[in-house]
Amino acid sequence: MHTIYNLLIQFASFGLRIVALFSNKMKLFVDGRKDVFEILQQKISLEDKTIWFHCASLGEFEQGVPIMEAMKKLKPNHKIVVSFFSPSGFENKKNTPLADAVVYLPMDTQLNAKRFIEAIHPSIALFVKYEFWPNYLFLLQKKNIPTLLVSGVFRENQIFFKSYGGFMRNALSTFKHFFVQEENSEILLKNIGFKNVTVSGDTRFDRVSHQIEMDNTLKFAEDFKGNSLCIVCGSTWPEDEVLLVNYINTSPENVKFIIAPHKIEADKIEDFRRKINKKSILHSDKDEVNISEYEVLIIDCIGLLGKLYSYADIAFVGGAAGKTGLHNILEPATFGVPIVIGKNYDEFPEAIRLRDLAGLYSVTNSEECSAILNKFITNANFRNQTGMICGHFVNKNTGATQKVVDYISVHFE
Indicate the CATH number of 1-201 among 2.60.120.380, 3.40.50.11720, 3.40.50.300, 3.30.70.270.
3.40.50.11720
Task: For strands 339-341 and 360-362, give the pairing.
Answer: parallel
Q: Which residues of 218-240 are buried (b: 16+ CB within 10 A; e: fewer)?
A: bebbeebbeebbbbbbbbbbbbb
Instruction: Identify the CATH number of the domain defined by range 217-397.
Output: 3.40.50.2000
What pLDDT, on a 0 to 100 scale, did the predictor assign at position 196?
Answer: 97
What pLDDT, on a 0 to 100 scale, did the predictor assign at position 413?
Answer: 62
Helix/strand/coil percentages in the chain, nearest 5: 50, 15, 35
For the entire predicted model, the pTM comes to: 0.85
Using CA atoms, how far residue 245 sits from 286, 332, 337, in Å, is 22, 21, 21
Cross-strand partners of 303: none
CATH fold match for the domains 1-201 and 217-397: yes
Is residue 131 flagged as an active site residue? no
What pLDDT, on a 0 to 100 scale, did the predictor assign at position 92?
Answer: 87
Using CA atoms, how far residue 189 sits from 18, 68, 173, 203, in Å, is 37, 26, 11, 20
Helix pair angle (24-31, 2-19), 10° resolution? 130
- CA dihedral 56→59→61→64, nearest 10 degrees, is -110
- Cα(360)–Cα(316) distance, integer angstroms: 10
Could you tell me the residue ranges of all domains in the chain? 1-201, 217-397
CA nearest neighbour of 52 among 135, 129, 147: 147
Q: Which of 38, 47, 60, 222 is catalytic?
A: 60
- Cα(14)–Cα(110) distance, integer angstroms: 16
User: Order of strands, edge to edge, in the sheet holding 78-84?
Assistant: 101-104, 78-84, 49-55, 122-128, 147-152, 177-180, 197-199
- Cα(391)–Cα(368) distance, integer angstroms: 24
Would you say 331 and 234 are in contact if contact means Cβ atoms under 8 Å apart?
yes
**20 alpha-carbon distance from chain centroid:** 25
Would you say 263 and 240 are in contact if contact means Cβ atoms under 8 Å apart?
no
Residue 201 burial (C-beta neighbours within 10 Å; 0-12, 13-18, 19+): buried
Q: List, as one string, the DSSP characters of 347-398.
A: T-HHHHHHHHTTSEEE-SSHHHHHHHHHHHHH-HHHHHHHHHHHHHHHHHT-
Residue ranges in the chain modelled with pLDDT below 50: none
